[in-house]
């Protein structure tokens, strides 16, 4: 039987971790306490925790996700986590957290990996999760990454993926996104059902669950982390991200109009590979 965890557990874990980290690294400690889990990620983390079915001792690959969930899994769930991203921006901070939180330091490894060309052997990973990452990989990188996940998953292994969704149709968005303070281009896809099927279900993985969540009407995310907000106002809202998410981010139907919607997929690798199609017999 799988122990049930939610985004609230991750939130409380991060608060405690931040308090314990403060004497060693005030900046890292304060960061974990100020914004334990960001607004929309609360719902995505909740989905992953409910559907991934990660168990103690399993090897779990975090492919580019916000890292507090991977630290929670290594610490509270006692999985062996490999936390990855394309660049090593999180290494120093999470090395500090790991030294504070983990007695068995080997349970949390950090690596730079390209999701399109993972360096792990075939069938070597029990579970994979990727929260709001796949949509950013350029070109056909999302499809390639899904095939790489299928390759490294063990038979029976699961992957949980979350991506932006719009029932009105697929979009490719280029330019500066509203929630980042950087002037850097931030490009991503917003999927619909046909492109989920074509781009995310092209790999040899079976769909276990497809769910949708988001803001039904009130654009709360726009208002609480918009870069035009004064920084002090934005920072003052950080402790309220989880309760606001619990109030305004809800389960949605696929075709239900919404302000913001996320598609959450759980996929599983078959225990045995699919048999190739039989060659047509030829009459003599």
What is the pLDDT at residue 180? Answer: 42
What torsion, rounded to 10 degrees, do the Cα atoms 216, 195, 211, 123 define? -150
Burial (CB count within 10 angstroms: exposed 0-12, middle 13-18, buried 19+), residue 202: middle
Q: Distance between CA 37 and CA 58 in Å, rounded?
A: 24
**Is 70 within 8 Å of 107 (Cβ atoms)?**
no
Token pair for 190: 């917003």
pLDDT digit string, tens, across residues 56-95: 999 999 999 999 999 999 999 999 999 999 999 999 999 9
Structural domains in the chain, CATH included, are: 38-268 (3.40.50.150)
Q: How confident is the model at residue 228 (pLDDT cuts 50, 70, 90)?
A: confident
What is the pLDDT at residue 174? Answer: 76
């Amino acid at each position: 039987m799988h122990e049930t965890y939610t985004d609230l557990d991750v939130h409380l874990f991060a608060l405690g971790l931040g308090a314990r980290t403060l004497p060693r690294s005030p900046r890292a400690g304060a960061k974990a306490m100020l914004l334990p889990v960001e607004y929309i990620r609360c719902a995505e983390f909740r989905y992953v925790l409910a559907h991934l079915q990660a168990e103690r001792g399993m090897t779990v690959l975090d492919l580019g996700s916000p890292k507090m969930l991977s630290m929670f899994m290594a610490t509270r769930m006692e999985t062996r986590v490999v936390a990855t991203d394309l660049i090593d921006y999180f290494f120093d901070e999470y090395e500090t957290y790991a030294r504070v939180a983990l007695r068995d330091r080997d349970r949390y490894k950090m690596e730079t990996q390209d999701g399109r060309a993972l360096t792990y052997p075939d069938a070597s990973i029990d579970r994979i999760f990727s929260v709001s990452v796949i949509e950013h990989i350029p070109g056909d990188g999302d499809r390639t990454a899904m095939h790489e996940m299928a390759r490294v998953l063990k038979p029976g292994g699961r992957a949980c993926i979350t991506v932006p969704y719009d029932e009105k149709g697929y979009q490719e968005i280029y330019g500066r996104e509203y929630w980042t303070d950087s002037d850097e281009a931030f490009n991503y896809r917003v999927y619909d059902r046909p492109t989920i099927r074509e781009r995310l279900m092209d790999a040899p993985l079976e769909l276990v669950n497809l769910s949708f969540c988001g803001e039904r009407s009130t654009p709360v995310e726009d208002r609480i982390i918009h870069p035009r907000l004064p920084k002090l106002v934005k920072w003052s809202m950080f402790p309220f991200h989880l309760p606001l998410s619990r109030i305004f981010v809800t389960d949605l139907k696929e075709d239900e109009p919404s302000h913001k919607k996320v598609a959450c997929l759980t996929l599983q690798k078959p225990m045995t590979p699919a048999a190739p199609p039989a060659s047509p017999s030829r009459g003599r």
